Each structure stands twice: as C-alpha cells, then as structure tokens.
Structure 1
C-alpha cells in the first residue's frame, strides 16, 4: 500500500464516515463500511483514479447501500422504536448549519422514511453536493433516473423536516428552558415549551427499559418527565451536551451515560423528544466524533 493511497484515505476518512453515517444512522455500521472501503481502496490502481475523493465516496456509497438494505431487515425485528446512534460532536459542527441539520436526530429520522436509493441520492446531492454523474455511478442508475429520484426525495424530506431553520442559539434557549422546567418540576413551564402534538420516542433496544411505543401530547409527556425526575438519585446528573450538531442532554448515573436525550424544535417549541437508552448505541458520546462535508 503506497503512502499516497494511505494519505488519501486518512484525509477523507471523516468525510467518508459522515456519508456512511448519514445513510445508515449507525456509527458502528458506518465504521464497518469504512473498513470495507479501505480494503477495496487498498486494491485500487491509483494510476487510473482521476478524483480520489469521488472514487472513495463512490465505494463508500455502494457499500453503505448494501448495508442499509440489511439494516432495514434487522430493524423489522427491533424491540420498540429505533433511533439513530447519537454522536458527541464538536461545537464547530453547529456553525455549519447545513451539516448540523443533516446529521441531526430529527433529520436522520426523516431520512429513515426514504428508500435506500432515495436516501443515498438525497444525502450525496443535498448534503455533499455531489454531481449527478457521480451519483449515478455510485447508485447504479442513469443520470435521468437520479434526477427524478432526487426530486422525489427532496419533496418527501421537505414535507417532513423541521419547519424553518433553527439556529444553535435558538435550540440552546429551548433546551435550557426544558432542562430548567424538568429539574425544578415546573409543570406549566414544561407545557409552555412543548408543542401540543409533541412526540416522545424511547430506544432501549430490548436491552434496557424504555417507552415501548411513541407517547404523543404535551400533557402526557410532561408528566412522564416530571414523574421520572422524582425517582432519580443524588448520583444522577442531567447535563447539556452537543449531540449530532445540536444541543441535547445526557443523563449520567453514577458517572456512566444512561440516556441521551435529543430534541426537534419547530417555531420555538419542542415537537420531538428522542431518548436513546440502548447501551450498544451510547459509546459515541464519551468522546467527540469528527463529521464533515469537506
């Protein structure tokens, strides 16, 4: 393996991870895809590669598509709601609004409603600005077909994504209000920050206890949180963090991560709360994961 090939892979590794993660919603599976990408890349004759970035993205996309179809079958037997694997991200991710939006828990859940090919096309075109010709190569479709898929995916996502752009400052303000209301047991303040049709999802993966079905409605969800807070011990801490590019909360019990709580904000109120408790999905919140569009 030449130093040139190694250097190229290392320099684009964070980009390739981000592509795979946005397609899969799973850091563990994204890492597996990167290992396979490295194996494929190590056998490539670099003399025929005109654009190393494009070539690596193409390999990653094809492998992620194959894995995404396998994941879909696995999710059919998943116990309870499935949520993306949360990532602790650096503060500068929030400064790139498009990147933060694309890796947010809310957006990853929207992407789950696309077909595998639609998801790949949307991610490559809308997030990474890959040319249609390259996307067609990556997904095995004609350019005309890719353009149609991209149009369909954009419309699908636009109808389901958070309404309007939410800045990190706005999201932090909402999160702080929620955090304060929960910790002080202030029911009215909690109801004020929750949208009437807010949805609460919990992912325990059948390993730990979590809400087995979505809970809908501000009053029901507020009482669930306030009741839960009365049961926590003195060694339990609810701490702010930067998860998937947005402000979130991490619940630590005796110093260990117990739950990651992400949120979706629309028009200044919380419309989605996502509690990841499956311990197999919590390894990426102990140290920052690099994500990038470059």
Structure 2
C-alpha cells in the first residue's frame, strides 16, 4: 500500500484506536501495526480503503484488548492519582475523556474485548455490523447482540428517575465545591447530619467534619466525573479512564446525607457503573 494513501486515513484510524483502547500510546502503536499489516497486504480492488483499514485497525485493537485482559490486574494505588505510564499526553487523554465521557471509558474498560469493539465501531463510528462481524469473528446477528449488551451495560434499560435532573444539580454542586476546596459551598450542599462511610463503616459524622475532609481532596476531585453507581448518583475518580475511586451519594431533597467510598479492586469490581443520563 502506498504510504501517502495510508496517511490520508491516519487521523481516522487514530481516533478509532484511541476510543477503543482508551490510551493514546496504545492507539499510536495500533495505528503503526495497522500500517505494517496493510503494507504487507494487497489492497487490490477494495471498494473502500478507509473501511478496509478500519477493519485491520479493529483486529489490531481486539488483539490488544484480549492481551490486556489476560494480564493480571495491577494493584490500585490510592496514594497517587497520576496516570500509569509517563509517556501519555494528559491533554490528549483529557480530550478523549471529554469527547467520549469519563464514565463511559470506565464502563468500556469493564466490557469484554469483543463487546467493546462492537459497541465502539458501531455506535461511535457507524461501522456496519456485517463489517464488524469479520473483525470479532462472529455472525452479524451475534455481533449486533454484543453491541446491544454493551449498550445496556453502559446506559441501562430502566427509565431514569423523574427527579434525576434535581439529583444531577446536587451532585454537580458537590463536585464543584470539592474541586474548589470550598468549605462554605460544601456545607451548603451537605446535610447537617451527613456521614462518610468506607467499607460500610461510618468514619466521619457531621457536615463540618465531612466538609473538612472533602476539601482536602481537591486534587483527586479534579479527575472525578458523574456516574450512576448501582443506580444511585455518584462520582468516579478515574485518571485517563483508569478507575481509582468511586463515591456513591445518598440524597435527601437537595442535600447529601451520606457518602459511601469504594476503593480497591474488590469493592470497585462489585459496583455496577453506568453513564449518568443527560
């Protein structure tokens, strides 16, 4: 394949790989591997070079996702909220989180490789199921089910609560106050008898103590985004989409009455995390 022809599609392939893998470095590696495979193959009379290259990139990403799944999960280090690996570009990764949604990246990371590929290619890039089927080595009907299952895990099927807009406003106010370390703003959104729990045990009681502790965590709060945790409004702290911490908020009216903190692979693995409905 002519390098100039490949370069015309590099941006598209990079976007596909970035969204499927959630990592800029891995996306660049995937694009390079796509070029190597394309260069060894013959494009022949292919009707759509872009579609052909997307298929190759999809297979490369699927291989990487399967290899990632096989690797033993690294221990979560809650003392550091720096993203793993020093070569990642924070600005690029932040742009990905903003465009895709940080909570979605977290949920995507929990999907099986084939589910993730099917969902991203179809729902994000509108690749036909017939084409995706060849990548994930399934029938088109099964591939459609993979994407549907992924969609359900991301968004859920039950209609959102009627007062979700109010809940979102409260959670956003709590997050803004947390990021700013603003004690007054935190006290305004916390119930006077608010509690903070960890591992199901109350560790702090009273709005003032909870607000003071929350204000100290402004740095990790910068990584937090809204999500639904077991159907309850909350926050996920996930630098570059790597889940570190989750906060489930119990609301009464316009006040936060309880904050449940989840950390570590065991606790986080038990949570059902979905994208917060807009």
Instruction: Please give the TM-score of this superposition, normalised by the length of structure 1.
Output: 0.57
1:197-224 Cα offsets, whole Å, 9 max, x none, are: 9999xxxxxxxxxxxxxx9x99797544
Aligned to 1:188: 187
Q: Give the drift of 1:116.
A: 0.7
Q: How does 1:82-101 map to 2 (within 5 A)?
A: 88=91
**Change over 3 Å in CA distance of 1:78–1:218 after alignment to 2:** farther
Matched, 1:20 2:20: no
Q: Describe the SS at the equivalent of 1:264.
A: strand
- Offset of residue 150 of structure 1: 2.2
Cα distance between partner residues in 2 of 1:108 and 1:77: 18
RMSD across aligned C-alpha pairs, in angstroms? 4.7
Deviations 1:221-272 (A, max 9, x none): 754431346xxxxxxxxxxxxxxxxxxxxx6xxxxxx996141267xx9721
Structure 1: runs of 5 or more not aligned? 201-214, 230-250, 252-257, 279-294
Question: Are the structure 2 counterparts of residues 25 and 223 from structure 1 closer, same or farther at C-alpha, using a change threshold of 3 Å?
Answer: farther
CA spacing shift, 1:174–1:74, aligned 2, 3 Å: same
Can you give the 5+ residue segments of structure 2 that lack an aligned partner in the other structure? 242-278
Count, aligned residues? 218
Deviation at 1:275, TM superposition (A): 5.1
Map 1:49-198 to 2 at 5 A. Answer: 49-74=46-71, 76-80=73-77, 88=91, 103-159=100-156, 174=172, 178=176, 182-186=180-184, 187-189=186-188, 191=190
Task: For 1:124-273, list aligned pairs within 5 A.
Answer: 124-159=121-156, 174=172, 178=176, 182-186=180-184, 187-189=186-188, 191=190, 222-228=211-217, 261-264=223-226, 271-273=234-236
Change (3 A) 1:122 1:198: farther
For the pair shown, which has the larger CA radius of gyration, 1 or 2? 2
Q: Distance in 2 between matches of 1:78 and 1:136?
A: 34
How far does residue 131 in structure 1 lie from its aligned partner after superposition?
A: 0.6
